[in-house]
Amino acid sequence: MNPKELKNRLDARKSGSDDFYLLDVRNPNEQEISTIEGTDLLIPVAELPTRIGELDSWKSSGKEIIVYCRSGARSANACGVLKSTGFSKVFNLEGGILLYSDEVDPSLAKY
């Protein structure tokens, strides 16, 4: 998923015409620097295998999960972990929060 697609989905979610989960897999110190408005949960990618149970209700809801990190690499890995544990509607944010900042919201701090 590219940043502009995510922005459109976030706008649609605000109006109630779309429903999905937005998962941040960066570290807490990174989230303190900047975060995409509308993020539902932070689970660092290194903790994902041991915290996957926190997402059980997400799996049973059938909603899509959009995953992001700083540049897209860790979130791509997280998507693989989620898919290997039975999540089927999982999408990676291309370019992560850096590209999102470039293309959608330049007010987000880059690091």
In a domain, 67, yes or no: yes
How do residues 7-37 score in pLDDT, each as one tens digit? 999 999 999 999 999 999 999 999 999 999 9
Instruction: Assess whether 79 carries a catalytic annotation.
Output: no
Query: Does this model's pTM top 0.85?
Result: yes
The domain that holds 33 is classified in CATH as 3.40.250.10
Distances (CA, A) of 57 to 10, 16, 30, 75: 20, 20, 26, 20
In a domain, 110, yes or no: no
Q: Which of 55, 69, 78, 99 is catalytic?
A: 69
Q: Which two tokens stand for residue 84?
A: 């290997």
In a domain, 41, yes or no: yes
Q: What's the domain range around 55? A: 3-104
Q: How many domains does the chain have?
A: 1
How do residues 30-86 score in pLDDT, each as one tens digit? 999 999 999 999 999 999 999 999 999 999 998 999 999 999 999 999 999 999 999
Q: Which two tokens stand for residue 26?
A: 């960066």
